[in-house]
Chain A
């Protein structure tokens, strides 16, 4: 029934749009690209200079602009951050296609930004959005020199940067599982390598990243707290080119070039760590040493590939894919152990221009995340794993009805296949056999309609509605998700914005750790675990100071319903009754974000500050008999961070050097500490436990504040074959010991070893703090040709 309704709304919207086609104006449309490599430019501005009417390119580089029909030619200006503007003349006597290619202004600077990028931001109804391009990311210092677009975006306000060892993304009080991460529109279920210290996004293969914290347009849905839209590069359609680098832990190589110049191109990119190559040699050289414990193998790699074809003036086809794996293995004398996990995504996208006003994108995506642990011991084996696979068909229409209405409508259907906690173990002869796991086949549907409306020059409203549904476990869940964003332009230098969004989430991440573990797995809504939803209201002000500085100040409040947590001592790994470990409750978060940003000149960067309060409440275990400490009360989640301040600065020192620095201060994460203890004798044969902790109120203790400053120096070289640079990074340059976690260590009388004497009684207890990262220097050589 719901499916029919969604389809009905889509058809109505299409018909409505066609009927209202205005006749006294003509429409110019086309795409805007980087002249040097053919990359589409997203968010480029197109302005008819005499009237000031304008449009921006959508996420596929397409624009549509209605201008008055006439016999005199009009000037159309195309501009984009970091590129020289182009003005093209057009005779407005009929609808026509007008494509533009923009060139980089000053070749030697990585980040060249025009001040009008702020103006574009101020003229948009979009708020609570953060964007970053890989060009910025590459000069900002990073852990072990591994520049990472997902980590860098965390330096923006409202996205608390990971504290020591906590690699989760907690956007505006939302949980770590409430972020929809898509790469070329395909969902990436676990965007992490090595417990989340690195993301799966190879900076060389990525074009840009856009993160929505609120004010979600109707086309986005599926998670409560953020949408992270990562776009891969399309590939250079002008000439064969390459980029790469050799770093402390990885090496990268990207090759791209035209298949048919100006019409089609490819890009292939790879990255791999190489610590295992060294450790294998160490193991080999110590093979005869009986006291040597072999070092396990660990490595990760990413492969990205994309091709695109311009089939005609109206058709463009993109095929892209990603494959990444983390591999951990150990081969002993008597057992072999391997643990591998990773994502695979595939995207086939067809852009078709039905008319100068109507653009369509049809996307077929495939996403897969799985992990497998395989252990073999003589005569026995043990395999455990989980996976999630999506096949998604999505249709999006972009209809520039006139300069006052831009409609977006579309829908998608996704088939989700979940294999949760698959376990197969036993003896090779089959005499002993263990097996288990749950398989789910679920379907999600959505349809949406959004209209960006202009009321005069001062007021714009983007109103939309999204209908979503999810079928699983014999149940159909539905959600009505209204969206609204408004912009009031007080003057050219001052904008007021407001937004409201309801979001539904039908998948839950099964994880209790602040660290992204590969065994974290997604679990669909079922009869007992119903979908989460949230409502968020945000208001904001954007103020241009001169033409170089932009000040943004936003306030938000978010209510979260049916939030997921897990009971005390939850067994999330290889559990046949996983749902019994869930606890469901509500929550809320509110706060303020303030930032000032400068995007041009020798000195660039931003300062962001966030004040936030987050609470969770009314949690109850799903299963009776399970314990959830703090059930029915209100408590802070672990990632409740009251204050968060980040400073990012980049300074060009002549043509050759760029110095960059970041500093992050944040209130400490919350933690759950014992307040009492008792002793447990246990049964005969078992060890005496003199100290069994009794934990107090959940997350009632705050860790010491977090502070980290990083420094980076980029030194460029200009050999004949291209360009190269040496990037030196100092992570945690003040060498501050931030708290990763606390623990309490028993102290014993001299000469007492509790490992030998199980009855040993401590003489005292000492609280200790463990840090992960001291100052870490790294050197990376990057090149491009």
Chain B
């Protein structure tokens, strides 16, 4: 009988122990990493030329004690930044331009207060000469925006008082299209309710619908934004998303960053979008 008691005791202890913490902090020593230049430049027709040039750092490099110094600590100044288009060169000045976008302020350290021409038929070329003499180049072309055809708000009054929002657009079957869809609730300052990129590979009959769950209350303001993006931005965004999400996800696969600039890492692309703001009503 004693053996049974011992067995049951061990069994009970094991059940209790099983509730312990399965996560623990460990020390990691990572190999040497050489910093790279990082470029972000979105050409928005009619808007000023803006570009952010920063640098990557070793993974465990300490962060600035003052968080407000974080951005300035990685920005790279004194580079020569030239964007060429249709025979004209636009030389961006090394000056800080802050786009105040409520909580989502964007900082650019190369800026030219001249409008990006609306031209969907010829390339924009980027050439950056860094202070240490390295050359970074890139090429892109603007895409026309794809309009949102309609926004439909539907309530499910049988089961609840919440509504969903359906966003419809017409896809051009003559070409491969890539889209980024964003949906904000009540403020563009909020964390997007939806933010993803997609393509038209599986579209059968030109019509694409983006939906939401039944989550909106009457009176909510819903910001539907549809970016028409190019393949380079689609790949860059996906690879960035995958790289971020592989951390902490046992099913995730680490990913290198797919850039469309040579000599650095980053994205040089056009930015065209349609945005419809809808107030949820019955």
Return A569 CB to nearest CB of chain B, in Å: 4
Cβ-based interface call for B118 (8 A)? no
Residues of B within 8 Å of A380, CB to CB, are 209, 211
**How many B residues touch A, CB cutoff 8 Å?**
94
Min distance, Cβ B184 to any Cβ of chain A, angstroms: 6
Count of chain A residues with a beta carbon within 8 Å of a chain B beta carbon: 97
Contact of A686 with B182 at beta-carbon distance under 8 Å, contacts A629-B256, A767-B27 already known: yes
Q: Say whether A241 faces chain B, with CB atoms less than 8 Å apart.
A: no
Bound-state CA distance A769–B168 (Å) is 44
| B152-167 to A contact mask, C-beta < 8 Å, 1/0 | 0010100110001000
Cβ of A703 to closest chain B Cβ, rounded Å: 10
Instruction: Give chain A residues whose Cβ lies under 8 Å from the Cβ of B202.
Output: 423, 425, 434-436, 574, 576
Is A770 an interface position by the 8 A CB rule? Answer: yes
B62 CB to closest chain A CB (Å) equals: 7
Q: Does the CB pair A627–B239 fall under 8 Å?
A: yes
Contact status A730-B211, CB under 8 Å = no
Q: Which one of B56, B59, B182, B247 lies within 8 Å of A685 (CB-CB)?
A: B182
A776 to B13, CA, bound (A): 10
Give the total number of A-B pairs whose CB atoms are below 8 A apart. Answer: 266
Query: Distance in Å from the Cβ of B266 to the closest Cβ of chain A?
Result: 8
**Smallest CB separation, A689 vs chain B (Å):** 6
Q: Does A515 contact B (CB under 8 A)?
A: yes
Q: Cβ of A775 < 8 Å from any Cβ of B?
A: yes
Q: Which residues of A contact B251 (CB under 8 A)?
A: 513, 515, 517
Q: Is A545 an interface residue (CB 8 A)?
A: no
Per-residue CB proximity of A677-711 to B under 8 Å, as 1/0?
11111111111111111111100110010000000
Q: Is the CB of A334 within 8 A of B156?
A: yes
Q: Are B247 and A768 in contact (CB under 8 A)?
A: no
Measured CB to CB, the closest approach of chain A to B77, in angstroms, equals 16
Q: How far is the CB of A195 from chain B (nearest CB, A)?
A: 9
- B121 touches A (CB below 8 Å): no
Structural contact, B63 and A684, CB atoms closer than 8 A: no
Complex formed: what's the CA distance from A379 to B250 in Å?
34
Contacting pair B207 A431 (CB below 8 A): yes
The reply to whether B105 and A759 form a contact with Cβ atoms under 8 Å apart is yes
Query: Is B11 touching A759 in the complex (CB atoms < 8 A)?
Result: no
A764 pairs with B62, CB closer than 8 A: yes
B67 and A672: CB pair below 8 A?
Answer: no
- Known contacts A676-B58, A696-B33, A774-B18; is A683 also within 8 Å of B271 by CB? yes
Q: Is the CB of B255 within 8 A of A741?
A: no
- The reply on A293 being an interface residue by CB < 8 A is no
Which residue from B63, B104, B209 sits with its C-beta under 8 Å from A761?
A: B63
Residues of B within 8 A of A243 (CB): none
A693 touches B258 (CB 8 A): no
B35 near A627 (CB under 8 angstroms)? no
The answer on a CB contact under 8 Å between B33 and A681 is no
Residue of A nearest to B239 (CB): A569
Decide if B175 is an interface residue (CB 8 Å cutoff): no
Bound: A689/B60 CA distance, A: 16
Residues of A within 8 A of B160 (CB): 333-334
CB contact under 8 A between A696 and B31, given known A683-B271, A768-B26, A774-B22: yes
Q: CB-defined interface of A576-590 with B at 8 Å, one 1/0 digit per residue?
A: 110000000000000
Q: Mark A376-412, 1 if CB is under 8 A from B, else 0.
A: 0111100000000000000000000000000000000
B23 touches A768 (CB 8 A): yes
* B188 x A696 contact (CB < 8 A): no
Taken together as a complex, chains A and B put the C-alpha atoms of A774 and B58 apart, in Å, by 34
Q: How far is the CA of A764 from the CA of B61 in the complex (A)?
A: 9
Instruction: Give A303 to B161 CA distance when docked, in angstroms.
Output: 45
In the complex with contacts A681-B52, A768-B25, A772-B22, A735-B17 CB distance below 8 A: yes
Q: A570-B253, A683-B271, A770-B23 are in contact. Are A730 and B63 (CB under 8 A)?
A: no
- B70 at interface, CB cutoff 8 A: yes
User: Quick one: closest B residue to A671, CB to CB?
Assistant: B254
Report the separation of the CA atoms of residues A477 and B256 in the bound assembly, to the nearest whole angstrom: 34
Which chain B residues (7-31) contact chain A, with CB distance < 8 Å?
7, 10-11, 14-15, 17-20, 22-28, 30-31
Give min CB distance, A144 to chain B, whole Å: 11
Q: Does B205 contact A (CB under 8 A)?
A: yes
Distance A731 CA – B59 CA, assembled complex (angstroms): 37
Complex: chain B residue closest to A693, CB-CB = B243
Given A685-B184, A692-B243, do A165 and B104 touch, yes or no (CB 8 Å)? no
Q: Is B151 an interface residue (CB 8 A)?
A: no
Q: Is A10 engaged at the interface, CB distance under 8 Å to the other chain?
A: no
Question: Contact string, B30-72, partner A, CB cutoff 8 A, digits 1/0?
Answer: 1111011010101000000000101111111011110100110
Give the chain A neighbours of B122 by CB distance below 8 A.
none
A679 / chain B contacts, CB cutoff of 8 Å:
38, 54, 70-71, 74
**Contact A769–B26 (Cβ < 8 Å):** yes
Quick one: given A685-B184, A689-B240, A776-B14, are A695 and B256 in contact (CB under 8 Å)?
Answer: yes
A671, B86: Cα distance in complex, Å: 47
Are B213 and A335 touching (Cβ within 8 A)?
Answer: yes
Which residues from chain A contact B191 at a C-beta distance below 8 Å? 687, 755, 758
Bound-state CA distance A689–B106 (Å) is: 12
Q: In the complex, which residues of chain A have a beta carbon less than 8 angstroms from the beta carbon of B154? A: 378-379
Q: In the complex the two chains form, is B67's CB within 8 Å of A677's CB?
A: no
Chain B residues with Cβ below 8 Å from A278 are none
Query: Is the CB of B214 closer than 8 A to any CB of chain A?
Result: yes
Interface pair A676/B254, CB less than 8 Å apart: no
Say yes or no: B256 contacts A568, CB within 8 Å: yes
| In the complex, chain A residues whose CB is within 8 Å of the CB of B14 | 730, 733, 775-777
Q: Is A95 among interface residues, defined by CB-CB distance under 8 A?
A: no
- Given contacts A688-B104, A758-B191, A769-B26, is CB(A728)–CB(B71) below 8 Å? no
Contact residues in B for A12 (Cβ distance below 8 Å): none
Q: Is the CB of A758 within 8 A of B25?
A: no
Q: B26 touching A742 by the CB < 8 A rule?
A: yes
Q: Report the separation of the CA atoms of residues A593 and B211 in the bound assembly, to the nearest whole angstrom.
A: 56
Contact A758–B103 (Cβ < 8 Å): yes
Instruction: Please name the residue on chain B nearest to A769 by beta carbon.
Output: B26
A435 touches B54 (CB 8 A): no
Give every chain B residue within 8 A of A629 (Cβ-Cβ). Answer: 254-256
Residue in B54, B207, B248, B253 whose CB lies within 8 Å of A569: B253
Q: List 8 A-B contacts (CB under 8 A).
A: A435-B202, A568-B254, A672-B254, A676-B58, A685-B104, A692-B243, A693-B243, A761-B70
- 7 shortest A-B CB distances, which residue pairs? A777-B14, A569-B255, A743-B248, A678-B56, A761-B67, A569-B242, A434-B202
Seed contacts A333-B214, A675-B59, A695-B246; 10 additional CB < 8 Å A-B pairs: A568-B258, A569-B255, A569-B258, A676-B59, A685-B188, A686-B192, A696-B31, A755-B191, A764-B62, A777-B18
